[in-house]
Amino acid sequence: MKLNNVEIEDTYAEAFGMRAARLLITAADVEWARTAASVMTGFGTSVIGCNCETGIEGPLPESTPDGRPGVRVLLFATSSKQLEQQLVLRVGQCVMTCPTTACFDDLPSEERLKVGSKLRFFGDGHQISKRIESSLSENGATPRRLWRIPVMDGEFVVEDKVGTRKAVAGGNFFIMGRTEEDTSRAARAAVRAMREIPGIIMPFPGGVVRSGSKIGSKYRKLIASTNSPYCPTLRGQVESALPPGASCCLEIVVDGLDEESIGRAMAVGIRAACTRGVVRISAGNYGGKLGKFHFHLLQLLEKN
């Protein structure tokens, strides 16, 4: 298949199961909400080294529990235990510290993780719990417990427990272009389009990763290493996967609450990436050894 004279390789992206949580951070204005969300999602690119993958989900919510401007954040981890640890650390260090913020659960689920119930002890005995009616639960309207923790600009309101459920991480596609400028421009266009899709994040810097990895290494202690077939400087030293005329390859990785959201985002991103100077679109897989979720590029484009 070709789109705008760009070859779409007949291959698939291989993704794997994760646990996810979704937070809604509110503040007196969008700037403070975005600041808290940006800091909270820092150093959250890959579970290989960061213990979670996290990012800001767009677009902005139309309504929030306290009626203030808000920003959604998604977090993914390999287990509920790991996810809870990351939530407590990141909310406590990055959201509670940011002026005017509050933090609410935004994911209907019967499985709950302790967040506010652990952070409340920062109140040194002055913290107060409150309950509000909500339809967030999958079983209809139920009381939600919040904690009001005194801080130096007033109080920090945080959800007692946060929902979690199964999710998918590692959807991806490669953009191979004639020049670094062409490839970067295409990657940015793809990310801009994909950010309009709800339920997904792209956890790497600006949504793009240049240091794509393969499983394993010549060094026994490393579980991953540089994706050498796609490194232009290694042409002639390894069997290259880059097509003639391509001198740069950038990867976009997508995590989502479900397969459908990832598939839709990938299709939107691939179409947006097929711009001048792009030679080929491909994807990364490991022969089915990494994960059970397979996103076939041609099928995604035909469906979406």
Half-sphere exposure of residue 222: CA atoms within 13 angstroms, side-chain side: 10
Are the CB atoms for 270 and 304 separated by under 8 Å?
no
pLDDT at position 296: 98
Same domain? For 123 and 224 the reply is: no
Higher pLDDT, 226 or 140: 226
pLDDT at position 289: 80
Phi, psi angle pair for 74, to nearest 5°: -110, 140
Domain termination site, one of 135, 165, 195:
165
Q: Which residues contact 158 (CB under 8 A, 6 or more apart)?
A: 91, 95, 96, 102, 103, 104, 115, 116, 119, 120, 146, 147, 149
Are the CB atoms for 84 and 160 separated by under 8 Å?
no
Q: What's the average model confidence in pLDDT over 23-51?
A: 97
Higher pLDDT, 138 or 260: 260
Mind listing the pLDDT tens digit for each residue in 247-270?
999 999 999 999 999 999 999 999
Same domain? For 190 and 205 the reply is: yes
pTM over 0.85: yes
Q: What's the average model confidence in pLDDT over 214-242?
A: 94
Same domain? For 31 and 159 the reply is: yes
Place of tokens 């994807």: 283
Residue 38, pLDDT > 80, answer: yes
Domain termination site, one of 105, 140, 165:
165
Residue 138, pLDDT > 80, answer: no
Residue 288, pLDDT > 80, answer: yes
pLDDT at position 287: 85
Distance CA 134, CA 122 (A): 26
Same domain? For 154 and 258 the reply is: no
Distance CA 248, CA 24 (A): 37
Residue 136, pLDDT > 60, answer: no
Domain termination site, one of 165, 196, 231:
165
The enclosing domain of 207 has a CATH number of: 3.30.70.520
Same domain? For 105 and 90 the reply is: yes
Mind listing the pLDDT tens digit for each residue in 203-219?
999 999 999 999 889 99
The CA–CA distances, whole Å, from 36 to 73, 104, 299 equal 10, 13, 38
Same domain? For 10 and 45 the reply is: no
Same domain? For 6 and 107 the reply is: no
Q: What's the average model confidence in pLDDT over 91-102?
A: 98
Distance CA 23, CA 106 (A): 5
Provide the pLDDT confidence category of residue 132 given band limits of 50, 70 and 90. Answer: confident
Q: What's the average model confidence in pLDDT over 264-287?
A: 97
Same domain? For 154 and 174 the reply is: no
Residue 202, pLDDT > 80, answer: yes
Residue 137, pLDDT > 60, answer: no
Q: What's the average model confidence in pLDDT over 146-158?
A: 98
∠197-198-204 over CA atoms, to 5°? Answer: 75
Same domain? For 6 and 94 the reply is: no
Same domain? For 202 and 279 the reply is: yes
Structural domains in the chain (count)? 2
- Find the largest Cα–Cα distance for the chain: 66
Same domain? For 66 and 83 the reply is: yes
Neighbours of 289 (CB within 10 A): 8
Distance CA 256, CA 199 (A): 6
Are the CB atoms for 168 and 20 separated by under 8 Å?
no
pLDDT at position 151: 98
Place of tokens 């940015």: 188
Q: What's the average model confidence in pLDDT over 134-139?
A: 54
Higher pLDDT, 287 or 284: 284
pLDDT at position 134: 65
Q: What's the average model confidence in pLDDT over 139-149?
A: 79
Same domain? For 267 and 282 the reply is: yes
Provide the pLDDT confidence category of residue 143 given band limits of 50, 70 and 90. Answer: confident
- 243: containing domain: 2-14+168-303
Residue from 195, 206, 301 nearest 251 by CA: 206
Token reading at 83:
């996810």
Place of tokens 């677009």: 59
